[in-house]
Structure 1
Amino acid sequence: MSPTAALLAAYPALAVAHAGVGTVALAAFWTAAFARKGSTLHRRVGQVYLLAMAGIVASGGALAVGKWLEGRVVAAAFLGYLLVITAAAVWSAWRAVRDRADVVRYTGPVFVTLGVASFLAGAGVLALGLAKGVPLLVGFSAVGLVVGADMVRKRLRRETLAARPLWWRTEHYTAMLGNAVATHIAFLSIGLPKLLPAVSGSALYYAAWFGPLVLALVAKAWLDRKYRPAPRRGPQPLAARA
């Protein structure tokens, strides 16, 4: 049996494994979200979540190749794009904590490579969506373009990033929100319709893709406000102190 035939034969099993790892990721995400931040439970479950996300990226790569071999070029390209931006979020969420004392290491070669790849993948999906007339590809390409450009900007302005108080915490929860978008899109667009076949339609389709993204942006704004460092108060004039 040729490698191509073997991959196509194993495709159903890969899809089941992909869905199983995604279920673990979804459960681990919410467990870590409700656990006390910095606690042992939060760290351990967070590690499980990132490992599960790494498994999703690995199995998703095989699924993308399988779609390509089946002749589903648009689906394969879009899945590959999603895997690239998900890999960038997984890496950033992990390394932001590991490299919190060294912004240079955090914004190293892998960080830059994933940023450039995200931007180029976003540009490719945008061009593909315009050529094929697929609104989903056109709209979702903005994620890769924005994320990729932001990662490259952070590499070029390391000093600005390092000057932010607790910069690594912001990088960590921002990346985790990106991972959450990927996890919940997969559940809402693939898992939920299979569990509840009656729940379908174009409205649900676009809500499943853009709803988690909008909620993540709202959560990002709320967290930025919550963890905004208090303004530093300089020494008051003598008359004011009197």
Structure 2
Amino acid sequence: MTAYQILVASHVAAGTLALATFWSAAALRKGSPLHRRAGQLYLLAMLGIILSGLPLAVVRVVEGHPVTAAFLGYLVVITAGGTWTAWRAVRDKRDVARFTGPVYATLGWLSLLSGAGVLALGLKVGSPLLMGFSSVGLFAGQDMLRKRRDTTRLTSRPNWWFVEHYTAMLGNGVATHIAFLGIGLPRLFPAVDGVALHYTAWFGPLVVALAAKLLLDRRYKPKARPVAQPAIA
């Protein structure tokens, strides 16, 4: 095998592991040892995707596909942001300042700037995919930077770390399923490829994740404290 083939195989293997462990973690009881182990394997798989994705983007530049390379690089950035946030939210749940530290801020800026760059690129080449998906980096980046500036947005919620964790994991799930539906599935079954599948693969997981986020936010919304009744003399 050539170095490029090894790189692609590693990327595919990491993606397959990520898909399997994502649903394993989702199905297991939250906080259980098995859930934590599945989550750790998932984040390690995502790290493998990130590390193999960067050189794949460089290869696309060398091959003369700068737009594809730019988009792949952008996906690596926003995936790195979600992976870091999902991990550190649990590790730093008692230290908001550490959670929103320099790495968090750097990833926020990278997400924001790369999202703006992909939006400009999408407008230039007339790509609805690039224009639409740039919103992920733009929103995630400004949200991270706002939380960095004002940590009271996080500390005002007793379970802030859990909300940050599952929000980031939903974002990571979007990346995992896009890779499978948009890249893996058409290669396995070329007959199902087409324009409809192309856009469904990219935007379908995003819509599902947003719906899941709304449901989880409602489920884990902090309960209102009962108002104390005045004592009767």
2:16 is aligned to 23
- 2:168 aligned with 1:175: yes
1:215 is aligned to 208
1:95 is aligned to 88
Counterpart-to-counterpart distance in 2, 1:160 and 1:93: 17
SS in 2 for 1:228: coil
Counterpart-to-counterpart distance in 2, 1:199 and 1:13: 27
Alpha-carbon offset, residue 11 of structure 1: 1.8
Counterpart-to-counterpart distance in 2, 1:160 and 1:187: 35
Aligned length: 232
- 2:147 aligned with 1:151: no
2:108 is aligned to 115
1:46 is aligned to 39
**8 A Cα contact 2:157 2:222, kept in partner:** no
Counterpart-to-counterpart distance in 2, 1:111 and 1:142: 19
Counterpart-to-counterpart distance in 2, 1:222 and 1:160: 20
| Residue-by-residue CA offset, 1:19-72 (whole Å, 9 max, x unaligned) | 111000100000000000000000011000000000000000010011111111
Alpha-carbon offset, residue 12 of structure 1: 2.3
Q: Within 5 A, what are the aligned runs for 1:196-207?
A: 196-207=189-200
Counterpart-to-counterpart distance in 2, 1:210 and 1:198: 20
2:133 is aligned to 140
Counterpart-to-counterpart distance in 2, 1:128 and 1:12: 29
Q: TM-score, normalised by structure 1?
A: 0.94
Alpha-carbon offset, residue 195 of structure 1: 1.6
Query: Structure 2 unaligned runs (5+)?
Result: none
Alpha-carbon offset, residue 234 of structure 1: 2.2
> In structure 2, what residue type is equivalent to 1:37?
K
2:99 is aligned to 106
SS in 2 for 1:110: helix
SS in 1 for 2:157: coil
Query: Structure 1 unaligned runs (5+)?
Result: 1-8
Q: CA RMSD in A?
A: 1.1
Task: Please identify runs of 4+ aligned residues in structure 1 that moved more than 4 A.
Answer: none
Alpha-carbon offset, residue 165 of structure 1: 1.5
Counterpart selection for 2:229 from 198, 212, 236: 236
- 2:64 aligned with 1:71: yes
Counterpart-to-counterpart distance in 1, 2:70 and 2:40: 29
1:12 is aligned to 5
Counterpart-to-counterpart distance in 2, 1:14 and 1:59: 6
> In structure 1, what residue type is equivalent to 2:211?
V
2:158 is aligned to 165
**8 A Cα contact 2:57 2:69, kept in partner:** yes
1:4 is aligned to none
Counterpart-to-counterpart distance in 2, 1:200 and 1:159: 47
Counterpart-to-counterpart distance in 2, 1:69 and 1:234: 65
Counterpart-to-counterpart distance in 1, 2:12 and 2:33: 27
1:195 is aligned to 188
> In structure 2, what residue type is equivalent to 1:50?
L
Q: Which moved more, 1:154-163 or 1:68-77?
A: 154-163
> In structure 1, what residue type is equivalent to 2:146?
R
